[in-house]
Amino acid sequence: MMNYQKYKRFETISLPDRTWPDKHIEKAPIWCSVDLRDGNQALVTPMKIEEKVEMFQTLVDLGFKEIEVGFPSASQIEYDFLRLLIEEHLIPDDVTVQVLTQCREHLIRRTFEALKGLDKAIVHIYNSTSILQRDVVFNKSKEEIKKIATDGCQLVKDLCGEFDGKVILEYSPESFTGTEMDYAVEVCDAVMDVWGATPDNKVIINLPATVEMDTPNVYADQIEYVGRHFKDRNRMILSIHPHNDRGTGVAATELALLAGADRVEGTLFGNGERTGNVDIVTVAMNMFVQGVDPKLDFSHINDVKHVYEKCTKMEVGPRQPYAGQLVFTAFSGSHQDAINKGIHKYRERGSKYWEVPYLPIDPADVNRQYEPIVRINSQSGKGGVAYVMDTIFGYHLPKAMQADFASDVQKISEAEGEVSPERIFDTFNKDYIENEQPLKFVSQKLIDISEDSSNDFEREAIIKLNDHGNIRIIEGYGNGPIDAAKDAFNRNGYPYMHLLDYSEHALTSGSSSKAAAYVCLRAKGTSITEWGVGVHANITTATIKAMISAMNRIYKRLDDSK
Ligand SMILES: CC(=O)SCCNC(=O)CCNC(=O)[C@H](O)C(C)(C)COP(=O)(O)OP(=O)(O)OC[C@H]1O[C@@H](n2cnc3c(N)ncnc32)[C@H](O)[C@@H]1OP(=O)(O)O
Ligand SMILES: CC(C)C(=O)C(=O)O
């Protein structure tokens, strides 16, 4: 039994008239990437300058307009990186960089030194306000903690006089979720008063779930509650900064947006301290799949993943929403069947809206259309195998044949695990197209005899084949090519057959001038049925080859049953 009594819940506020549950996310928030600060500070090996530059440029390309580039007073590399961005003019006009500092005089002064030459910046100051940190870290009263914040704010204000650019103040009551809400409001209001915040000179008030402490609805209640209690909600931008300790950072962010947050700080793929910051890719893409413009461009998600993995040395997990290697892959049979049908219907109907079972997003929207959506293992069924044959190789297997072929593939997957598309195609070739024993097609001639009054048929088929090593030429008559070919086999001692099914189509993938024919034969007097496939530029040849393929399979069945 685990000792759960060791833990207790943080006291929650009462907000029975909460409004957020009835709302929807209707527009993108202001996004602020903290990859280069919160993300970076949590890495085993923090990024080198070149990596920071690459990450910065990627964030700009994705559309971030606010980017926390670091903690310039913390180390030389952080300082130098900001200087490089400024001196090399790497910051686009429509992007504002943000820098973090504790509310300590020498750190704030050093931060301003690093900012020289910038025309605008967000200066982000923080101090922890939580009950726990006031007690164990600072050992200070509420008034003293508030004073750290207001002194920090006053110093930033004073230093603005020596700075040529525009400063936007951001203040975070760090560990907000562990703070009494009324006290958090009091401290933030005090900071805004010192700054002289007005609707035209707003302060960014950032309310971090520094440690995620409760269910997402509790964070939403906290955000709605403080949003109602600030002295003047119009003189601030309400920002959130969720972490993911309970694994619900994305949900908490979404609910906090419903509760009135204007701005979200987070990172790509949720990098950050411990379990990470909120994953902005997921939050943004969740908006996208509900028809809301996220104002960030993840249309080349694999490229973003590549830069992320290279710069952070972290890996994006295979199940990571939208970006994971396996998220556009279905192994199980019923999923594959439904995806296969759904994609066909979507294309056939030319639907405006993407509605495909098990695929909440069209993989093409994140440039992942070339990956196999359907992968085959022993849990897969005929739908998946048919999908692979169709979408990758262009063979539209008749429905009645799909189970037949899928059972061959399943034998392989049961013995060997996942079966690659190439292996499936090889098996198909071996089983149906290249099975040329004991009969092998050599050539055929189809003669139009419709004008010949001495018989009742319209076509004569002359088929040359290699039969157990001997060349034979056989003839048959019928009213069409298939009839005539069938007759040639039946009247020359081959397993007298019923043709149960037939279909053909042009092969569009790879060999554009060829056709594929599929036949299902039953050997007369038995219950043995077999499918055969023939491929050739001439459709009659393809059909005769398909008959021979099916007969070879019948011979094999007869041999096996002896
Ligand atoms: C939740 C977050 O992610 S917040 C961001 C955290 N990020 C980082 O800390 C990364 C960069 N930090 C650093 O490199 C270092 O901490 C520095 C350079 C900023 C400061 O270094 P140091 O002064 O040597 O150490 P340290 O950070 O441990 O300082 C602790 C002191 O600062 C005080 N302090 C901590 N945070 C704050 C704050 N936000 N405002 C004011 N004082 C603070 C502590 O109470 C403590 O005071 P004490 O010495 O009187 O006990
Ligand atoms: C500085 C603050 C915003 C922070 O990183 C946190 O609380 O997680």
Architecture of domain 29-312: Alpha-Beta Barrel (3.20)
Can you point out the beta strands (E) in 90-165? 96-102, 120-128
- Residue 369 pLDDT: 62
Choose one of 102, 106, 144, 265 to mutate for the ligand 1 pocket test, by most ligand atoms within 8 angstroms of C-beta. Answer: 102
The set of protein residues with a Cβ atom below 6 angstroms from ligand 1 is 38, 41, 71, 74-75, 102-104, 107, 126-127, 137-138, 148, 174, 210, 273
3-class secondary-structure state, position 375: coil
Choose one of 38, 175, 278 to mutate for the ligand 2 pocket test, by most ligand atoms within 8 angstroms of C-beta. Answer: 38
Give the number of the ligand closest to the Cα of residue 101.
Answer: 1
Residue-wise pLDDT for 169-205, tens only, equals 999 999 999 999 999 999 999 999 999 999 999 999 9
CB 366 within 8 A of CB 354: no
Record the pTM. Answer: 0.84
Q: Is 243 annotated as a binding residue?
A: yes
Q: How far is CA 374 from CA 335, 342, 382, 428, 452, in A?
A: 9, 13, 12, 17, 54
| Nearest atom (ligand 2) to Cα of 206 | 3
List alpha helices for 273-321, DSSP H: 280-288, 301-312
CB 267 within 8 A of CB 296: no
- Record: fold of 439-560: Double Stranded RNA Binding Domain (3.30.160)
Residues with pLDDT less than 70, the chain: 369-373, 496, 509-512
CB 284 within 8 A of CB 298: yes
Distance 164 CA to ligand 2 centre (A): 27
- Residue 509 pLDDT: 54
Give the number of the ligand closest to the Cα of residue 124.
Answer: 2
3-class secondary-structure state, position 531: strand
- The domain ranges of the chain are 29-312, 333-431, 439-560
| Tokens of residue 460, six digits | 């004569």
Q: How far is CA 192 from CA 102, 236, 323, 425, in A?
A: 17, 8, 40, 68
Which ipTM was obtained for this model? 0.97
Residue 201 is classified by DSSP as B
CB 206 within 8 A of CB 242: no
What residues contact 57, with CB distance under 8 A and at least 6 apart? 90
Residue-wise pLDDT for 66-120, tens only, equals 999 999 999 999 999 999 999 999 999 999 999 999 999 999 999 999 999 999 9
What residues contact 161, with CB distance under 8 A and at least 6 apart? none
As a residue count, the chain comes to 562
CB 543 within 8 A of CB 482: yes
| Tokens of residue 93, six digits | 């006009």
Pairing assessment for the beta strands 30-33 and 263-266 based on DSSP bridges: parallel
Q: How far is CA 51 from CA 57, 75, 274, 459, in A?
A: 10, 16, 21, 74
